[in-house]
């Protein structure tokens, strides 16, 4: 099975485990989309921005000595966007609604990122 399909399966499991999740996108650290369950016009832009935010988050943590990146969480009036490093080469971005259980989002987002990283490692 190809990388895209296996990553989409991980995303589907995330949606099953976390009903507040409204979509996700996985991309390379360079911003190239791998798999997306967002509208196409949003997915490509989200991939590029995800890669940029991951790079800035990693740099901030390195500069301040706060350790390895676990996640970046953005809270907005209409919901949340969470970014996870899924291994060294992939970024997982997850969108959730305004009433989302943030603890569950963080737990399941990290679990999904680990699953995506494992898929990518097998494919190399």
Structural domains of the chain sorted by starting position, each given as residue range(s) with its CATH number in brackets = 3-123 (3.30.450.30)
The answer to whether the predicted template modeling score (pTM) of the entire model surpasses 0.75 is yes
Given this model, what pLDDT does residue 16 score?
A: 96
**Which tens digit of pLDDT belongs to each residue from 66-105?**
999 999 999 999 999 999 999 999 999 999 999 999 999 9
Q: What is the mean pLDDT of residues 6-23?
A: 96
Residue 105 tokens, joined: 């989002």
Q: From CA 75, how far away is CA 26, in angstroms rounded?
A: 20
Question: Rounded mean pLDDT of 1-18?
Answer: 95
> Which of 92, 66, 94 has its CA nearest to residue 80?
94
The per-residue pLDDT for range 35-72, each reduced to its tens digit, is 999 877 788 899 999 999 999 999 999 999 999 999 99
Q: Is the dihedral of CA 8, 9, 10, 14 positive or negative?
A: positive
């Amino acid at each position: 099975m190809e990388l895209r399909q296996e990553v989409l399966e991980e995303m589907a499991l995330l949606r099953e485990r976390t009903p507040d999740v409204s979509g996700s996108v996985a991309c390379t650290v360079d911003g190239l989309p791998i798999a997306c369950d967002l509208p196409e016009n949003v997915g490509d832009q989200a991939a590029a921005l995800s890669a940029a935010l991951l790079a800035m988050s990693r740099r901030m943590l390195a500069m301040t000595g706060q350790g390895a990146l676990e996640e970046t969480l953005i809270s907005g009036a209409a919901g949340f966007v969470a970014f996870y490093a899924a291994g060294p080469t992939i970024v997982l971005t997850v969108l959730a609604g305004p009433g989302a259980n943030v603890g569950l989002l963080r737990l399941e987002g990290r679990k999904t990122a680990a699953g995506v990283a494992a898929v990518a490692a097998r494919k190399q």
